[in-house]
Chain A
Amino acid sequence: QKEVEQNSGPLSVPEGAIASLNCTYSDRGSQSFFWYRQYSGKSPELIMSIYSNGDKEDGRFTAQLNKASQYVSLLIRDSQPSDSATYLCAARSGNTGKLIFGQGTTLQVKP
């Protein structure tokens, strides 16, 4: 069974700090990776996609991909209380094309 692993948290950071969220995946055939933000009671919202090794920046968010280590991360700079949510990591299966989701990491940003 192909898996995506995340620490469930909660990860607690003070306002203004950098939050670092990590994810590992088992399918070496995966080529596409995604980060979703899910507020309590709401549906997941796509915030970052990454397809190549290295960093991809979008505003306060940076996604990092290391295919050799099968590791994906999301950095949130200048964390705000409004960033408090569950962050889901997903990898597209190399065989089926389906998304495999991790369990999610809960982030708490304290004012």
Chain B
Amino acid sequence: DGGITQSPKYLFRKEGQNVTLSCEQNLNHDAMYWYRQDPGQGLRLIYYSQIVNDFQKGDIAEGYSVSREKKESFPLTVTSAQKNPTAFYLCASTTGGTNEQFFGPGTRLTVL
């Protein structure tokens, strides 16, 4: 089955810890994205990557880092510098032709 997978589904972080959220896609999409969604809020772009080994900051990149070493994978690290990381994190990828964007199932991160 083609699609976007994210793991883990739920993640708990202690104060001062870095955690890494996984995002993998087998759709052969070039562009991948990370969004954050807070309760009752819209989607805010954290980072995006249009090709391997290249990525750009989105609107709220502070306290986050990413890598894009393979086309299929775009992991997001939430660092201890992110002061309010509790949120729903969504990974997405975009088709080349119609530019339609599809989302993974999400990771819900909670700071203890």
Contact = CB atoms under 8 A, between A and B. Distances in A.
A36, A43, A49, A99 pick with most chain B CB within 10 angstroms = A43
Contact of A32 (B43, B90, B99, B103): B99
A35 B106 CA distance: 18
B104 interface: yes
B42 to A, nearest CB: 4
Contact of A43 (B58, B99, B105): B105
B90 A43 contact: yes
B101 A103 contact: no
A44 interface: yes
Interface residues of A, number: 19
Given A88-B42, A101-B42, A101-B43, A42 B105 contact: yes
Q: Give the size range of B's interface with the partner.
A: 10 to 19
Main secondary structure of the interface of B (DSSP, over half): loop
Contacts of A57: none
Contacts of A104: 42
B48 interface: yes
Interface string B81-103: 00000000010000000111111
Interface in A16-56: 32, 34, 36, 42-46, 49
Interface of A: 32, 34, 36, 42-46, 49, 88, 90, 92, 97-99, 101-104
